[in-house]
Chain A
Amino acid sequence: MADHHHHEEEFRLHDPEFNRLNQKLDRRDFLTKTSMGIGALALGSLFGNKLMGNAPRPAIINATGDMEQEILRALPHFAPKAKRVVYLFMSGGPSQLETFDYKPALVNMMGQDLPESVRKGQRLTGMSANQSVLPLVPSYYKFNQHGQNQTWVSELLPHTAKVVDDLCIVKSMHSEAINHDPAITFFQTGNQLPGRPSIGSWLSYGLGSDNENLPTFIVLVSKNGQKDQPLYARLWGNGFLPSKHQGVQFGSGKDPVLFLNNPDGYDGADRKEMLAYLSKLNQIQNSTYGDPEVDARIAQYEMAYRMQTSVPEVMSVADEPEEVFELYGPDSKDPGTYAANCLLARKLLEKDVKFVQLYHQGWDQHGSLPSGIAGQCKATDQATAALITDLKRRGLLEDTLVIWGGEFGRTVYSQGKLTANDYGRDHHPRCFTMWMAGAGVKPGISFGETDDFSYNIVKDPVHVHDFQATLLHLMGIDHERLTYKFQGRRFRLTDVEGKVVKGILT
């Protein structure tokens, strides 16, 4: 008998995640359940929802669960400066040289080969590594000084230039990945390989929701970005965190959230009742199998039900005055465009959605950069600036953090042939520009410096993990203390690195 038991043991997963499950499957536990459990269930239905259903289900105490609770109870670690975040992700790697990192000295070096003293044998992508020359190329576009601090901004960003006094421009970002997929994954999850939770999922897990009628983490992908590099749902995935923390993507079509509308011929009157029964069935299932995904599913049904009213309300722009559309630009009336998403982001932030992430693709200008980047800037500049202006006048910039940036920068040399008015730029992770604005960051400053070639960082480098640590810090989280144990290891967003960039904090 003992042997038999032992044999059976081997088929159980000895992972903390499954401890609960194993415990539930114990014979003794089974007996308790069949005698007491079914009785209790019957009682529960007798007394109705009020007495039993609303009571929180008793948590099964185990070491892992305790540790998780311990970590969550300690949050927030600091008084947060930011209550919500909107992250404008410029996917593809926008060129720092044509936007914020002004390098006038390059004009006199146009066409010259990139000095080895600058490159220092650093690896290049396969796309330009075999070029016989790496000709330096200055920005095709002019820069002008703007705002009280006379910040240099490219002529491609006339609207952003007007709000430059609200921005904290970090010119010394650097990443480890040189290609899109690992670089975006690195930014979103702290690791180049897929599988870890996204920033928004960590925030949702650590801090919970401020509005139970909407998801904590919402993703909007512009339909008007050039889809040259793909995006995929795992970038806003929950990784190993419970799946209710995954980002919810709002589509750009007629129905932002699919299947939220009632089907034809059904008025939804008895939906609540139906969901109550479904939830009860799921709970019975869950009491037998203890699968955390059942919990997630129950929560998602309930969320979907609440979203039937909350989403149409937040998506409707009917109440927005004409002046608002003018502010965000003509695209803002076309749902799914970057401008419309910026407006929608403001509405979501107004509803205290904790993390809104916009993606705009098409910044990967290997060739024909001058025309390509002009189009990208035109599609995003006005709405980005409008979002800042709108949040500011509504007083929301007080406790909202706005982030703008891509996964890496671009090379100072031309990829492919350099002509008088055409060139391309390859991926460059050694330095690039991002900006932040709003809660907790110093407005109107530039942080960090690059050399005359915008190739290497000469002052105050900010690594991707440092950026993530800072973001968490502004939300009240010590990035070293928000951990989750999975497969025997405690994981965190910043892996084993990251330092809060104190220089940009107010």
Chain B
Amino acid sequence: MILLDIFTFSGRLHPLIVHLPIGIILLAILFNILSYLQRYRYLKQSVPLILLIGFMAAVLACVFGYVLSLSGDYDADTLTHHKFSGITLAIICGLLYLSSISKFREYLRVGDKLFSALLLGLVVLMSYSGHQGASLTHGKDYLTFRTLMQQEREKPATVEQAMLFEDVIQPILQKKCVQCHRDGKQKGELSLESLAALKEGGKNGQAAVPGKPDASELFKRITLDEDHKDFMPADGKAPLTKNEVKLIAWWIKEGKAEGGKTIAEIKNTTALKPMVALFLGIGGLTDSDEGDSEMSQVVNPDLPLAVDAMTIANLKNKGVRVRMMLNKPVMLDITLPPKSGIKVADVKTEILKLAKNIVWLNFSDNELTDQELDFLPALTNLEKLRLDKNPITDQLSDYLISLKHLEAVNLNETKITDVTTLKLKKNRGIQRVYSWKTNIAEVKID
């Protein structure tokens, strides 16, 4: 990156310097008002000196502000208002100082009351100028009554209900682009603050060409090499994540760079749905920048995001193997070592505490009976269950019918019969049942 030249550098100090005169002038006003009280009379003498310092600080702020304005990209009207109100402020401040020192009093005599009134007027002018300045930096609607009343869009409950532009694309633009590309500060003459502004395009043409990501300036800029001088976001600001880029490409291509459509209304959504879910935090995961990966996966949304570490430690101390399958949300694989001699009753409390985290469970070869396994219905997120080599019977399958995430059940070398086959058909989620060396030859679930 090129080093900023000294002008740009000092220009950027304007927002810092500008607070000096604000504070100093406020102090002058405070002292002036306090001096009406008998107790603080003596403060009156200090006001001219404070005003002088405030004046000098204001001049400095004006100079820096002017340098900053040269870098362009600011809304012209607001800038003019800010500039002239600022300069006026500095001049009035200087004049008030002059009027209060004896040498000039001969030419310009201002009464005490008038002096105080003028100082208060200065506060009004300062507030106005400050507001204009803030609008330049943060956008016109940063601090308005409308902002105060505005309501946040309600988060959609499902991916299908989500509005592609309003819920997905606009938040991305807000987060990564709008700081520079907005109504008050149109870098490259482009604003991405609203869909209407986006459609107007910027200096380099249309930001988003419906259906053609590669022809869209917006998409081109965010997909350049990070070292390229035209890469956006510029100046080392946080780039868009891989998923965000993919979502924008998809919005331009399939969403025709339009708003007002839900995900369900748009074609070819299958590949992108997981990403949208991830982005909106549906399904327990969020698309954090650090965890961004080409292989982000969508996980069962019912899984808890946390787990009680003490319970896990207790289980491990009792000889149960606990394997972390995923940290967020927490997925656990619990194994009772074969012929462990551990009684289920001794570990049931812990298992029930972790019930919703358990995704794989392996209790094979532990002399278990149906009754001991009556806690299974509580394991609502269970996907794979191994109970092979246990003296369990057809009764067991009653516990499995309500488990809607269950995919595979291993009942090899148990006492099950065809009754289990029939019962398990009630759970349509189960795809594979292993029944080798049982009274059933082969379980076929179709």
Q: Which of B359-411 contact A (CB under 8 A)?
A: 359-360, 384, 386, 388, 408, 410
In the bound complex, CA of A481 to CA of B290 (Å): 11
In the bound complex, CA of A413 to CA of B270 (Å): 45
With A393-B436, A394-B436, A395-B388 as known contacts, state yes or no: A79 contacts B325, CB within 8 Å: yes
Q: Which of A70-78, A134-142, A224-232, A459-467 participates in binding chain B?
A: A70-78
In the bound complex, CA of A480 to CA of B297 (Å): 16
| B434 & A500 in contact (Cβ 8 Å cutoff) | no
User: Interface 1/0s, chain B 316-349, versus A by CB < 8 A?
Assistant: 0000010111110001010101000000000000
Interface core residue of A73, A211, A398 (most chain B CB under 10 Å): A398
| A79 & B299 in contact (Cβ 8 Å cutoff) | yes
A478 contacts partner chain B, Cβ-Cβ < 8 Å: yes
In the bound complex, CA of A396 to CA of B410 (Å): 9
A83 contacts partner chain B, Cβ-Cβ < 8 Å: yes
For residue A480, which residues in chain B have a CB less than 8 angstroms away from its CB?
Answer: 293
A158 contacts partner chain B, Cβ-Cβ < 8 Å: no
User: Interface 1/0s, chain B 412-428, versus A by CB < 8 A?
Assistant: 10000000000000000
With A78-B326, A399-B384, A473-B295 as known contacts, state yes or no: A352 contacts B335, CB within 8 Å: yes
B5 contacts partner chain A, Cβ-Cβ < 8 Å: no
| B386 & A79 in contact (Cβ 8 Å cutoff) | no
For residue B432, which residues in chain A have a CB less than 8 angstroms away from its CB?
Answer: 395, 398
B294 contacts partner chain A, Cβ-Cβ < 8 Å: yes
| A210 & B335 in contact (Cβ 8 Å cutoff) | yes
Q: What is the distance, in angstroms, from A336's C-beta to the closest C-beta of chain B?
A: 26
In the bound complex, CA of A53 to CA of B323 (Å): 25
**Secondary structure of the A contact surface, majority rule:** loop
In the bound complex, CA of A83 to CA of B434 (Å): 18
| B325 & A210 in contact (Cβ 8 Å cutoff) | no
Closest to B360 in A: A399
| A78 & B434 in contact (Cβ 8 Å cutoff) | no
Q: Which of A78-98 contact B (CB under 8 A)?
A: 78-80, 83
Q: What is the distance, in angstroms, from B129's C-beta to the closest C-beta of chain A?
A: 48
Closest to B388 in A: A395
B: number of interface residues (CB 8 Å): 26
| A76 & B325 in contact (Cβ 8 Å cutoff) | yes
| A478 & B299 in contact (Cβ 8 Å cutoff) | no
Q: What is the distance, in angstroms, from A471's C-beta to the closest C-beta of chain B?
A: 13
Closest to A473 in B: B295
In the bound complex, CA of A476 to CA of B299 (Å): 13
| B324 & A77 in contact (Cβ 8 Å cutoff) | no
Q: What is the distance, in angstroms, from A310's C-beta to the closest C-beta of chain B?
A: 11
User: Interface 1/0s, chain A 390-415, versus B by CB < 8 A?
Assistant: 00011100110000000000000000
| B325 & A476 in contact (Cβ 8 Å cutoff) | yes
In the bound complex, CA of A481 to CA of B291 (Å): 10
Q: What is the distance, in angstroms, from B261's C-beta to the closest C-beta of chain A?
A: 28
With A74-B327, A78-B326, A478-B293 as known contacts, state yes or no: A395 contacts B434, CB within 8 Å: yes
| A398 & B384 in contact (Cβ 8 Å cutoff) | yes
For residue B333, which residues in chain A have a CB less than 8 angstroms away from its CB?
Answer: 83
In the bound complex, CA of A34 to CA of B185 (Å): 66
In the bound complex, CA of A73 to CA of B432 (Å): 33
User: Interface 1/0s, chain A 4-38, versus B by CB < 8 A?
Assistant: 00000000000000000000000000000000000
For residue B384, which residues in chain A have a CB less than 8 angstroms away from its CB?
Answer: 398-399
For residue A80, which residues in chain B have a CB less than 8 angstroms away from its CB?
Answer: 325
Q: Which of A392-443 contact B (CB under 8 A)?
A: 393-395, 398-399
For residue B360, which residues in chain A have a CB less than 8 angstroms away from its CB?
Answer: 83, 399
| A76 & B434 in contact (Cβ 8 Å cutoff) | no
For residue A399, which residues in chain B have a CB less than 8 angstroms away from its CB?
Answer: 360, 384
Interface core residue of A74, A78, A476, A500 (most chain B CB under 10 Å): A78
Q: What is the distance, in angstroms, from B411's C-beta to the closest C-beta of chain A?
A: 9
| B297 & A78 in contact (Cβ 8 Å cutoff) | yes
Interface core residue of B293, B295, B408 (most chain A CB under 10 Å): B295
| A76 & B326 in contact (Cβ 8 Å cutoff) | yes
For residue B324, which residues in chain A have a CB less than 8 angstroms away from its CB?
Answer: 76
In the bound complex, CA of A76 to CA of B332 (Å): 11
Closest to B337 in A: A211
| B323 & A210 in contact (Cβ 8 Å cutoff) | yes
Q: Which of B257-302 contact A (CB under 8 A)?
A: 293-295, 297, 299
| B295 & A500 in contact (Cβ 8 Å cutoff) | yes
| A500 & B294 in contact (Cβ 8 Å cutoff) | yes
For residue A394, which residues in chain B have a CB less than 8 angstroms away from its CB?
Answer: 388, 410, 412, 434, 436
In the bound complex, CA of A78 to CA of B331 (Å): 10
With A78-B297, A352-B335, A500-B294 as known contacts, state yes or no: A395 contacts B325, CB within 8 Å: no
Q: What is the distance, in angstroms, from B162's C-beta to the closest C-beta of chain A?
A: 24
In the bound complex, CA of A399 to CA of B360 (Å): 10
| B408 & A77 in contact (Cβ 8 Å cutoff) | no
For residue A502, which residues in chain B have a CB less than 8 angstroms away from its CB?
Answer: 295
Closest to B413 in A: A394
User: Interface 1/0s, chain A 444-480, versus B by CB < 8 A?
Assistant: 0000000000000000000000000000010010101
| B434 & A77 in contact (Cβ 8 Å cutoff) | no
For residue B359, which residues in chain A have a CB less than 8 angstroms away from its CB?
Answer: 79
A interface with B by C-beta (< 8 Å) = 73-74, 76-80, 83, 210-211, 352, 393-395, 398-399, 473, 476, 478, 480-481, 500, 502
Pull 23 A–B residue pairs with CB atoms less than 8 Å apart, ordered by A: A76-B325, A76-B326, A78-B297, A78-B326, A79-B325, A79-B359, A83-B333, A83-B360, A210-B323, A210-B335, A393-B412, A394-B412, A395-B386, A395-B410, A395-B412, A395-B432, A395-B436, A398-B384, A399-B360, A476-B325, A481-B293, A500-B295, A502-B295
Could you list 6 further interchain pairs (A-B, Cβ under 8 angstroms) beyond the known A210-B323, A211-B337, A478-B295?
Answer: A76-B325, A79-B299, A83-B333, A352-B335, A393-B434, A394-B410
B interface with A by C-beta (< 8 Å) = 293-295, 297, 299, 321, 323-327, 331, 333, 335, 337, 359-360, 384, 386, 388, 408, 410, 412, 432, 434, 436
